[in-house]
Amino acid sequence: MRGSATTDTRMGAARAALWLVAAVLAIRQAAVVLRLPPGERFLDLETWIGDDGVLSVKGSLYDSGGFTGTPFAGLVLKPLTRSAEQALGVGWTFGTLLLVVGIGLVVARALPGPVSRRSSLLAAPVAISLLMISLPVRNSFHLGQTSIIPVLLVLLGCFLARGERASGVLIGIGAALQPTVLLFAPLLWLTGRRRAAVASAATFAAASALAWAAMPGDSLTYWVNHVAGAGLGSHPDGLANQSLHGALLRFGLSGPLEIALYLALAAVVAWLGLRRAVRYAQDGQLLLAVAVTGCVAVAISPTTWQHQLLWVLLAVVGRVGKRWSDRMLWPVLTVLAVTLPSKMLLPNLAVLQPVRDNAVLIAALAAACAVPFLSRTSPHFARPIPTEYVKPLPSRWSRVPLLPFWRRVVSRPNLLLEVIVIRVGYSIYSQIRLAATGSVDAAREHGRQINSIEQALGIDIEHWFNHAVVKVEWLEGFFNFYYTSFHFPVPLIILALLYIRRPADYRWARSALAFATLLALVGFWLYPLSPPRLMPGMGFIDTVHRTEDLANPEFGAMTAVTNQYAAMPSLHFGWSLWCGVVVVLLAPKMWMKALGLIHPLITICVIVGTANHWILDAVGGALVVGAGFGLTYLLSGRRALAPLAGEAASAADRAPDSDPVPAPDPAAAAVVPAAREPGEISGEAAQGSGESQGPQEPREPQEKTALPAGPS
């Protein structure tokens, strides 16, 4: 009972914290929109607002080029004609908030079972938070669009409406607002809800006919002249149009060939996607079926603007992967694709440009046609193959590790997930570093402070060393090459080698590097510092950029991609020191350890000789790296792992009367655990609590891959 009460308390605290996060995100989103001046918010809404209110503009709805909705959408908005702009903005913002909350609550109730009690309690605030930060919702707030309404109507029709007729009416109204929603009628028909399918088609036809009778000119323009709105909106080949039609236009196709290819691809995607949606609906995963159908609509619509991409986010409910270690790959990729700009997901390389330009479309196509979502009949749907954890060695302090749930894993993490997270993490780091500018005067004042401190300590060698390097041409060229070429590749190579050869140490080293980088961001924010090369009157020579105009610090291409005054601490030296520490600790040969020591020594000479950093910047870099390793130790314990039980027993058998043999470095002997079914139990776990229980029977060779289990 005590354990149950503790669990309930923790669950309640976690749920309250998540609801608080969702509320903060909602308030922030509303505040960001309402604080914008009238000319910068509700951009689409204001294009068809007249002097007297909404839709009071003269002529057709489509004359201004801003309104791209259906004639029925215009008819629905007619009652707002007399609303003042300010009142409309406030009402529209809070109305959109309520719609987003409604979607989150419905999604939380519609999760395919079996669902754990923890998931059912935390699903609603998590869903609302993800919706609030997604690009479609943020875009809808900013532009004043109605694209959230069809999504909510479909969800209400599929999960809350009583009776097939009511369900069909709701979906039909959604289709009247966004015609591609009519794809849900075949889904209803093929899953046996034929009365709902007929009702949705009839409601769509009736609503469109009503709009045609009220606004025949606008209806003719939308349905005939622009082929169901396909020609409305500007720049259909722009990145905002994440549909197959937009992608083909971006590839340079046009005319009859492009139209024929688009229609053929749309037919294939619709056929494959609807087949998969029907299969998932029959499997009891109706929410996944709805998401897949919505992704089909995203792909085959002639124009799918950013605010219409909410269907892709709903696809996170699908479960992919038999192992726990792979289970988060699809949700993370989907959330990142729908939440972050594509330039943050992939580097700016020409070969990756087609993927960057169509990231959300690719996610929609993958969900509709390719991703192997698990069936509820799969034994791994509710019980994926668990991750093997190992028992860490005792630490020097009893309260270490501080986070007992941070258990050590020796298997390799999912490679694609790891690469994406590292890329996104570095993109966020670059954005924060670029934003932490401070003032130029403050940065230069801090530069004079650093110089004064170094003079007092007698280590102000930057000016002398910088001019000495310039006098030796080959040395200057070498330093410039080293500064621009070794900063990123060396840490990445070390991480790659650790990932391949020593996965347990990879996790430990990667965490230390991440903590060091986060701490460096704090320094960039709190202490903007001018490097020596940007200090006027001190006579430093910028060997890399050769810039002379210090009166105008906004110079060169580097200013657009990095903060010129993020010098304290020096991550050039910090990352090189991290490389040296990792190599010295883990490299098997002495010459490798020597190379590891040489890299930070050369780096500190390079950053000082090129006038990019002060000596104390390197000291700051060393401090954040030391703090990164320290935090990793405090949170997760010692790097070394407990030796394998079989190896310890063999060592004891070989020398029963001699002094105890020191245990070998367990990290070097760590083996990736073999895959096991959920019901299997490791040898040590089957024997009890992990205390000494006397001699053990020799294990079979195939069991040596299983690391001892135990609490962290």
Q: Are 311 and 364 in contact (CB under 8 A)?
A: yes
What is the arithmetic mean of pLDDT over 377-383? Answer: 88
User: Region 440-455: what's the mean pLDDT?
Assistant: 88
- The H or E element spanning position 321 is none
Of residues 559 and 594, which shows the higher confidence score?
594
- H/E stretch holding 280: helix 255-282
| Tens digits of residue pLDDT in 257-284 | 989 999 999 999 999 999 999 999 999 9
Q: Where are the domains of the chain?
A: 11-225, 235-386, 415-636
DSSP helix/strand/coil, 377: coil
pLDDT of residue 684: 36
The two three-digit tokens of residue 471, written as one number: 């006098």
CB 137 within 8 A of CB 148: yes
**More confident: 412 or 708:** 412
Integer Cα distance of 126 and 335 in angstroms: 12
pLDDT per position as a tens digit, 65-108: 666 777 787 777 666 555 545 556 677 788 889 999 999 999 99
Other CB atoms closer than 10 Å to residue 286's CB: what's the count? 18
Predicted confidence (pLDDT) at residue 555 exceeds the cutoff of 80? no
256, β-bridge pairs:
none
Write the pLDDT tens digit of every residue in 640-666.
776 654 444 444 444 444 444 444 444
Contact 304, 244 (CB under 8 A): no
pLDDT at residue 36 is higher than 60? yes
Q: For the packed helices 571-586 and 590-609, what is the interaxial angle rounded to 10 degrees?
A: 170
Q: If pLDDT is split at 50, 70 and 90, which confidence band does 326 have?
A: confident
**49, β-bridge pairs:** 54
Verify cis geometry, omega within 30 degrees of 0, for the bond prior to 114. yes
Q: What pLDDT score was predicted for residue 80?
A: 59
The answer to whether residue 399 scores a pLDDT higher than 80 is no
Q: Which residue has the tokens 């689409």?
A: 44
pLDDT at 525: 85
pLDDT tens digits, residue range 288-297? 999 999 999 9
Within the chain, how many helices (H) and strands (E) appear? 33, 4
Give 314's contacts (C-beta < 8 A, 6+ positions apart).
107, 151, 287, 290, 291, 294
Q: Is the pLDDT of residue 238 over 50?
A: yes
Mean local confidence (pLDDT), 563-571: 83
Of residues 677 and 485, which shows the higher confidence score? 485
Mean pLDDT of 231-239: 76
Three-state DSSP state, 110: coil
Number of Cβ within 10 Å of residue 656's Cβ equals 6
The H or E element spanning position 284 is none
Lowest mean pLDDT among 448-452, 632-636, 700-704: 700-704
